[in-house]
């Protein structure tokens, strides 16, 4: 039976948040993968890669797996009721409700994280509590039918986890082998715990602008449980 996947493709998406799980999903047997947005006009990712949505909110079929990637463009989605309504509607019937990186915050803004274990990019993980989620610092976290992944490259691990949940470990292993996914990074700086203090400080500074803007948005969201009320 064909499994329908849908990933939000929005302006300012972090392209690897989207393309990493897309590649894994599309490599699974009997998979139908949609890039979903308000219209089918090409969107420009955070790193300027142009992506082509394949269907609209109105034309999207009911998905078995809905996935919200992250990126700087997430900030606008947190207050976009058209997006949040679509996510809630699809989540109501989807087999799995999922996110990669800061896409988890969109699930939170849609009211889908309350009381759930979840993860996201390390630089945004503390925001999860604002949506009633239980911060869980793992690369991929499952709570019932909710799957959330850490930052960016965790989308590959996440994708394989989803394939295994849908079709079993042998299919996931076959996809992993076909993609030759056997990571051996040249540096050991992939987490805040592993990075040196100066690299961590410089990276926090690099991400500070987007984080500050996101923090201000979350502070005014009606669902958010923060000091601003």
The residues assigned a catalytic role are 101
Burial class (CB in 10 A: 0-12, 13-18, 19+), 205: exposed
CA distance 99 to 51: 18
Burial 56-74 (b: 16+ CB within 10 A, else e): ebeebeebbbbbbbbbbbb
**Two tokens, residue 39:** 């219209």
Phi, psi for residue 109 in degrees, rounded to 5: -65, -25
- Give the span between the Cα atoms of 127 and 212, in whole angstroms: 12
């Amino acid at each position: 039976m064909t499994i329908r996947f849908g990933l939000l493709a929005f302006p300012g998406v972090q392209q690897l948040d989207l393309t990493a799980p897309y590649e894994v999903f599309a490599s699974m047997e009997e998979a139908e993968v949609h890039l979903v947005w308000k219209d089918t006009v090409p969107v420009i990712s955070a790193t300027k890669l142009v992506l082509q949505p394949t269907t609209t909110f109105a034309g999207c079929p009911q998905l078995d797996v809905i996935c919200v990637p992250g990126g700087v463009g997430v900030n606008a989605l947190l207050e976009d009721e058209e997006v949040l309504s679509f996510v809630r509607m699809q989540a109501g019937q989807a087999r799995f409700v999922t996110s990669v990186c800061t896409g988890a915050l969109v699930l939170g803004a849609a009211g889908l994280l309350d009381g759930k274990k979840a993860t996201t990019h390390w630089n945004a993980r503390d925001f999860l509590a604002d949506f009633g989620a239980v911060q869980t610092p793992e690369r991929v976290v499952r709570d019932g039918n909710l799957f959330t992944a850490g930052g960016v490259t965790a989308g590959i691990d996440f994708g394989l986890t989803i394939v295994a949940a849908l079709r079993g470990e042998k299919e996931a292993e076959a996809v992993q082998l076909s993609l030759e996914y056997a990571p051996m990074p040249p540096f050991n700086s992939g987490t805040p715990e592993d990075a040196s203090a100066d690299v961590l400080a410089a990276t926090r500074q690099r991400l500070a602008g987007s984080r500050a803007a996101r923090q201000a948005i979350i502070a005014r969201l009606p669902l958010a449980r923060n000091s601003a009320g």
